[in-house]
Amino acid sequence: MTAPIDFQAARDNGGDSWERADPRDATLARLRWDTWGIALPDGEDAHVAKLRHEGRGYVGTCDCDGFKFHSGPCAHLVALRKAEFIGATDVRGEPVHIADETEPFDDDVEQAMADGGTEVRR
């Protein structure tokens, strides 16, 4: 389950997660449309985080202890959000883009049209 993420409060409050999250030193790898592998230089392991736009905000999770045991976003989620903000790239050289909740369906529409379906606009 994903939880609402308040990056503005995290920025305003500062703290360890905000300071550790430098996307220029992180390794960011897109695993799925809303899922990322993220390694920070001071961390022992890479972690899997999910983050997406939903409505007017962000929702996400991370498998790290910082997300599980503290309020607010962990350093992995913050690094991902900062990476999108500054236009950083992932390990494949692609711009970091945090998807919105409709993006996993975009390919389905294209596939249906390629299979002979027609697009219906309302």
Which position has the token pair 């939880």? 3
Q: What per-residue confidence (pLDDT) applies to 105? A: 63
Separation of first and last alpha carbons in the chain: 32
What would the DSSP string read from start to end of 13-56?
Answer: H--HHHHH--TTTSEEEEEETTEEEEE-TT-SS-EEEEEEEETT
Which residues, 6+ apart, have CB-to-CB distance to 112 below 8 Å?
A: none
Angle at 8 between CA 39 and CA 30, to 5 degrees: 30
Q: What per-residue confidence (pLDDT) applies to 85? A: 96
pLDDT in tens, 37-62: 999 998 889 999 999 999 889 999 99
Give me the residue spans of the domains in the chain: 3-114
- C-alpha 71/C-alpha 69 separation (Å) is 7
pLDDT in tens, 55-106: 889 999 999 999 999 888 999 999 999 999 999 999 999 999 999 987 766 5
